[in-house]
């Protein structure tokens, strides 16, 4: 494995000519992102020492059981996270992925951006056709009849409990995927296809602890892809990486992409 350590100055990153050439000429590239890519925007991750799961129990807040036991607590937790998401902006890591998408589109190559994030920061940066594996925190639907529910956080941030469904009176919930719930079928299918067909697979800012998303880099690797991990910390799948860029994505991705674009 080729490990590149974090350096204070992006100009000090060193990437091999072989890696840069592979990225320049790749015809199929897939990217999986996790909470780490939004960390430099000010959105908390889940499993870092000060992450969300250091203060809250996942099964109480990110499961249907937890919601049914204490709907107001779960709703308020999402309202607090919506307040953060509403106030933050994409960072250079997000913008580098926009540049990559434009480059590969101009080359007639395939580029698939798959995210576990619910914050919509990729879309805010300008990424197109983002595959959302775990839904999003912006939309809502009825926990009973599944009808979408129109609620906009910014229009009524003081909503302290789950609104009621206009059709069946059920409790409205955020349109995210909780533990024990199926991922959206289309999104998972698109992600699996991209992982198994790509030449290069990036795993960026994810601990790779949560399945089935964590299986995608390994699926790509099994099918012969070059697996590049961008993460300042080692993860559950670091040992399988062909290239590890051990640095924050907001620095590493712009540095990498600048080097790829330099002829």
What is the binding site for Zn ion (CB under 5 A)?
142, 144-145, 165, 167-168, 170
Smallest distance from the beta carbon of 167 to Zn ion, in angstroms?
A: 5
Task: Tell me the number of residues near ligand BJW by CB under 6 A.
Answer: 36
Q: Is 134 a catalytic residue?
A: yes
The alpha carbon dihedral of 231, 112, 214, 216 has a sign of negative
Which residues within the stretch 113-132 sit at the binding site for ligand BJW (CB under 6 A)? 116, 118
Please tell me the distance from the alpha carbon of residue 147 to that of residue 124, in angstroms, as a whole number. 26
- Which residue is catalytic, options 6, 94, 122, 134? 134
235 part of the interface to ligand BJW, by CB under 6 A: yes
Exposure string of 161-179, with b = 16+ CB inside 10 Å and e = fewer, is ebbebeeeebbbbbbbbbe
The alpha carbon dihedral of 108, 213, 36, 82 has a sign of positive
Question: Residue 70 is encoded by which pair of tokens?
Answer: 């204490």
Which of residues 30, 36, 82, 85 is near ligand BJW by CB under 6 A?
36
Residue nearest to ligand BJW (CB): 36
Kindly tell me which of 21 and 87 has the beta carbon lying closer to ligand BJW. 87
Which residues within the stretch 49-78 sit at the binding site for ligand BJW (CB under 6 A)? 51, 62
39 part of the interface to ligand BJW, by CB under 6 A: yes
Q: Interface residues with ligand BJW (CB under 6 A)?
A: 34-36, 39-40, 45-48, 51, 62, 116, 118, 134, 176-183, 205-207, 209-212, 231-233, 235, 248-250
Q: Which residues are catalytic?
A: 134
């Amino acid at each position: 494995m080729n490990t590149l350590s974090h350096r204070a100055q992006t100009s000090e990153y060193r990437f091999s000519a072989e890696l840069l050439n592979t990225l320049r000429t790749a015809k199929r590239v897939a990217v999986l992102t996790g909470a780490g890519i939004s960390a430099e925007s000010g959105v908390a991750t889940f499993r870092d020492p000060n992450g969300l799961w250091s203060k809250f129990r996942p099964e109480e807040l990110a499961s249907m059981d937890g919601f049914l036991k204490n709907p107001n607590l779960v709703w308020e937790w999402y309202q607090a996270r919506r307040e953060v998401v509403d106030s933050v902006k994409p960072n250079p890591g997000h913008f580098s992925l926009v540049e990559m998408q434009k480059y590969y589109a101009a080359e007639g190559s395939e580029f698939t951006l798959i995210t576990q994030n619910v914050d919509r920061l990729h879309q805010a940066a300008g990424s197109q056709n983002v595959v959302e594996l775990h839904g999003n925190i912006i939309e809502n639907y009825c926990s009973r009849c599944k009808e979408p529910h129109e609620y906009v956080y910014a229009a009524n941030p003081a909503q302290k409990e789950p609104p009621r469904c206009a059709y069946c009176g059920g409790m409205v919930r955020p349109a995210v995927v909780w533990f024990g719930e199926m991922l959206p079928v289309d999104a998972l299918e698109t992600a699996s296809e991209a992982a198994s067909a790509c030449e290069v697979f990036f795993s960026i800012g994810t601990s790779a602890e949560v399945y089935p998303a964590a299986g995608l880099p390994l699926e790509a690797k099994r099918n012969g892809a070059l697996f590049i991990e961008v993460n300042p910390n080692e993860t559950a799948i670091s040992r399988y990486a062909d290239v590890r860029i051990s640095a924050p994505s907001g620095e590493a991705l712009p540095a990498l992409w600048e080097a790829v674009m330099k002829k």
